[in-house]
Amino acid sequence: MENPIYIALSRQNALRRQMDVVANNVANMNTTGFKQQRVMFTEFLQRPAMHEQVSMVQDRAVVRDLTAGGMVNTGNPLDVALTGPGYFTVDTASGRRYTRNGSFRMDGQRQLVDGSGLPVLADNGQPITIPPNTTTIEVKGDGTVTTELGPVARLNVVTFRREQMMTEVGAGLYVSDEEPQAAPAETKVAQGMLEQSNVKPVLEMTQMIDINRQYQQAQKMIENENERIRNVIQRLGRTV
């Protein structure tokens, strides 16, 4: 296979994976707390022969845009959003997971859970249970949950030094090998609010169109190179 075809194929493979990332962004444009993702590309050098060097494209990683999404007022006292860096902590069968999605509710045991029914953890590492026979729930800016009977617990809001290294595990949850740290003082919890996705739909649709156009151009290059090679072989065959 000729080098131009190798180069075009490397570009097509990278574009296909880039399209997957953009499609995932579009699919999550209405997901609470979702952060749009981008593919990071680098130059990949290959040496097909001793004195040759071919430059190809390679997608190295997927990075998240960590800027905050817009806030929407829901009026639900169990909906909370973070204004600043940080993650809420929930408990799973595989250990603690972290999320920006603060759409919480009470289960049948009056335990505070997320949309998947996972217990929301307090800063003491325990699930948060709302006392029976209470009707008023207030979440203060520092994450303290109170009722008419007084303080109940404080939401465990944490940050990570290498936030880009966190691994997405689905349902808006992340895991990290790094030890969590307490969120900075400027991070506040806003009650009755939810953080929207920071995906910009028009930008993502434009990206899709551009990726499709580039993929077609790479395909045209491959077809032209195949045609060139076929013509050369035919001409050589006639001279033999």
% the chain with pLDDT above 90: 72
Radius of gyration of the chain (CA): 25
Same domain, 91 and 152: yes
Out of 40-54, 82-96, 179-193, pick the least confident: 40-54
**Which of the two residues, 48 and 124, has the higher pLDDT score?**
124
* Same domain assignment for residues 183 and 125: yes
| pTM of the entire predicted model | 0.84
Please report, as a single letter, which amino acid is at residue 232. V
Do both 206 and 188 map to the same domain?
A: no
* 72 Cβ contact partners less than 8 Å away, ≥ 6 residues apart: 193, 194, 196
Same domain, 156 and 223: no
Token match 């029976």: residue?
132
Has residue 2 got a pLDDT over 90?
no
Question: Are 99 and 174 contained in the same domain?
Answer: yes
Together in a domain, 82 and 175: yes
Residues 99 and 173 in one domain: yes
The helix (run of H) or strand (run of E) holding residue 175 is strand 173-175
The number of folded domains in the chain is: 2
> Do 210 and 166 fall within a single domain?
no
Domain extent, residue 45, equals 3-66+199-239
Statement to judge: residues 218 and 186 lie in one domain:
no
- Indicate if 109 and 218 belong to the same structural domain: no
Bridge pairing between strands 144-147 and 112-113: unpaired
Same domain, 187 and 102: yes
pLDDT digits (tens, 9 = 90+) for 7-63: 788 788 888 999 999 999 999 999 999 999 999 877 655 555 555 555 566 667 889
Q: Sorting pLDDT into bands at 50, 70 and 90, what band is 84?
A: very high
| Separation CA 200–CA 204 (nearest Å) | 6
